[in-house]
Amino acid sequence: MSDPVHGSQQHQRLGVRKTYKLYVGGAFPRSESGRSYEVTTPDGHFLANAGLASRKDARDAVTAAHAALPKWSAATAYNRGQVLYRVAEVLEGRRGQFVHTVSASEGIPLDRAESVVDAAIDRWVWYAGWTDKLAQVLGTVNPVAGPYFDFSLPQPSGVVAVVAPQESSLLGLVSVIAPVLVGGGTVVALASERRPLPAVDLAEVLATSDVPGGVVNLLTGRTSEVAPWLASHMDVAGIDLTGAAPGAVADLERAAADNLKRVRRPDPAEDLAAEPGLGRMSAWLETKTVWHPVGT
Amino acid sequence: MTFDYAPAPESTAVVDIAPSYGLFIGGDFVESLDGSVFDTVNPATEEVLSKVTQAGTADVDRAVRAARAAYEGVWSHLPGRERGKYLFRIARILQERAREFAVLESIDNGKPIKESRDVDIPLAAAHFFYHAGWADKLSYAGHGPAPKPLGVVGQVIPWNFPLLMLAWKIAPALACGNTVVLKPAETTPLTALLFADVCRQADLPAGVVNIITGDGDTGRALVEHPGIDKVAFTGSTEVGKAIARAVAGTPKRVTLELGGKAANIVFDDAPIDQAVEGIVNGIFFNQGHVCCAGSRLLVQESVAEEVLVALRRRLLTLRVGDPLDKNTDVGAINSAAQLSRICEISDSGDAEGAVRWSPPFSQPDKGFWFPPTVFTEVAPAHRIAREEVFGPVLAVLTFRTPDEAIEKANNTPYGLSAGVWTEKGSRILWAADRLRAGVVWANTFNRFDPTSPFGGFKESGWGREGGRHGLEGYLR
């Protein structure tokens, strides 16, 4: 983390600060716009300069997510579960780092940050266990009135753009991207605008887990600038507006109508600390029904 | 030597059409507050059947208020068991009056009596019967332990399956505890208005079901009314997008069943005779006025000629004509407007270089008619291969490899349905897995059942209707 946290105790040594970049297609590019913006603690201390993503960055991220989709959606549920659990493992190994980043970003004491990080790790584990159960829980065999074998299965709807929660920089982010991945979707996530650093740290975890490049793409920057491009992009199948400003939701929904994106509206009553339920996974799933005659 | 069919008309004596109708609001037919009237015609004869009301905004408002009053006063307090019993009653009344409904549907819509009698009406009754049983079992449906209704639902349905679409909309809404305002299509309102009498016979509490007639303006007023909690729409993708825009920024929930451009894929090992029956059923059922119609035939190059020869031979036996004749396979096009749309897009097929073929067809003097039509030499960029025709027009394309078939099938913004014809089980499962469509029919086509979820991927809509999945759109 930055100097005030670590460096001040080490009088002889100047801390090495980190450069925060975007995460697109498994790589860490700077914004193609060359822009960055200052990220501070809630009480105004400088933390870092984060990448200020542009429209082009958003489009590149969608391209990467679209390219990663066929393989990720075709992976076996067992394989996806392994990969998601691996994220939890790597995250656990970096627990200390995240505790400090979350504490500084959200302006909360270390012990509270610890419980937030623990909840975020546990959430990956919870979702990892869902990959090979969704089809059993959401799928059906339909007793049609005729000689047909007729079954319904969940299928990923495609690339999902996510406007991550603004307040909860890590648990909130994990809570909105993991459920997309479970069902085989790929993600372009726009991190919390004022608290983007845990997202970039999470990108490092994803890059060193077994998550294929492009399956998750993380952008930092101005929500109001980037979200409209994601909402109107024709290769995006769904958009999660959880972190969108209340005044912007209607416009984003209207833009999303151009290709009938699946839209998840913000729910102010949502408790991110509670067990999530199926809703965030099923929001990004289609039901496919297959009929076949039965006979000899 | 050929034997002609003798006429076998279904009697219309069972049907009694009123010279004019008001709006069914709050359990009674009432006069319009600010509307006008328009004619509904028999598309096979152009005979005016009745005068129907074009509901205005004040009428829409009154209907929504009636539905709200019924929701708060009666329906939301009723135990699921009792709601279910009303739906069982409705299912039984529809079965008892099946012939009356079937004849009326064919008169108003133009579809063959064979189809309204054997498909539309029995399925409509089945939808009420299926959903009746859910009313007191919703906590077992997998949508949470104590799901609640949404409130008042505004429903707008199309003209291709008037009573069946009414059943698809009203049965799950009522089973889940909602009340409804339903607007049938302007060209086919009569069976919905007759359904009001079913509600009366079932003693359904006043205002639980309200039926308002009118055109797109009435539909828009209903969708945009602030007093409804959910919109359920079946119709074109264009209107679906307008609805999605209209509800943006509101708390209204929406389900949409929109257009399609289904690929019906015939692999080289398919049983050709069965596949040809499936192709015919896929595109010529209901005059092709089917959102999930198999309007693009993708046939493997090595069997294309054989399939086309068999298909043309089969089409020579298809009987086009009087919808009320029990031997009719293809009836009348629903309206003059739809006929001109079919003609326009078919002409684009000629202009873009596709080759048109139809069996010999003698057009009746009156009514709206279009013969079963097959276009070959179709390129994927042609309008007839990309746009929804919603008529008896088949575009034939070929492919060489299974991968190419899937790629061509998925090359559309729609994703409603698809067909696969092959004897090889592993190939069926492989293809079904890759097709981006909400319904995949393997070695069959255009099958429907209330227990079976129906709905589209991509621009074919939001949500599902039917089955356990269909309840989700009516619960919170």
**Tell me: the pLDDT tens digits for B125-144?**
999 999 999 999 999 999 99
This prediction's pTM: 0.96
Q: Do A260 and B452 touch (CB under 8 A)?
A: no
Q: Do B248 and A143 touch (CB under 8 A)?
A: no
Locus of tokens 């939001």: B462
Q: What share of chain A is helix, strand, coil (3-state, %, to 5)?
A: 45, 20, 40
Chain A CB contacts of B462 below 8 Å? 260, 262
Closest Cα in chain B to A245: B249
Q: Do A260 and B244 touch (CB under 8 A)?
A: yes
**Can you list the domains of chain A with their CATH numbers?**
19-293 (3.40.605.10)
Q: What is the per-residue pLDDT for B1? A: 66
Closest partner residue to A289 (CB to CB) among B142, B415, B453 is: B453
CA atoms within 13 A on the CB side of A238: 30
Closest partner residue to B467 (CB to CB) among A152, A259, A265 is: A152
Q: What is the per-residue pLDDT for B305? A: 98
Question: Strands B373-376 and B355-357, how do they pair?
Answer: antiparallel
Q: Do B249 and A291 touch (CB under 8 A)?
A: no
Q: Do B458 and A237 touch (CB under 8 A)?
A: yes
ipTM of model: 0.96
As a whole-number percent, the residues of chain B with pLDDT over 90 amount to 98
3-state secondary structure of B48: strand
Distance from CA of B161 to the nearest CA of A (A): 19
The pLDDT averaged over each successive group of 10 residues in chain A (296 residues) is: 52 90 98 97 97 98 98 98 98 98 98 98 98 98 98 98 98 98 98 98 97 98 98 98 98 98 96 95 98 95
Residue B191, φ and ψ in degrees, nearest 5: -70, -30
Question: Strands A238-240 and A262-264, how do they pair?
Answer: parallel
Record the tokens describing residue A285, joined without a space.
């799933």
Closest partner residue to B248 (CB to CB) among A138, A253, A277 is: A253
Nearest alpha carbon to residue B375 among B349, B342, B348:
B349
Chain A CB contacts of B119 below 8 Å? none
Q: What is the per-residue pLDDT for B410? A: 98
Interchain contact B240–A (C-beta under 8 A) = yes
Closest partner residue to A260 (CB to CB) among B449, B462, B469 is: B462
Give the mean pLDDT of B384-405.
Answer: 98
**What CA dihedral angle connects B399, B404, B409 and B411, to 10 degrees?**
-120
pLDDT at B456 over 80: yes
Distance from CA of B468 to the nearest CA of A (A): 8
Burial level of A196, CB count in 10 A (0-12/13-18/19+)?
Answer: buried
Q: What is the per-residue pLDDT for A9? A: 57
Nearest alpha carbon to residue A42 among A104, A114, A109, A110:
A104
Give the mean pLDDT of B439-457.
Answer: 98
Evaluate whether A275 touches A196 at the Cβ level (below 8 Å): no
Q: Do B467 and A142 touch (CB under 8 A)?
A: yes
* Active site (catalytic) residues of B: 257, 291
Chain A CB contacts of B465 below 8 Å? none
Distance from CA of A156 to the nearest CA of B (A): 10
Evaluate whether B14 touches B101 at the Cβ level (below 8 Å): no
B340-356 pLDDT tens trace: 999 999 999 999 999 99
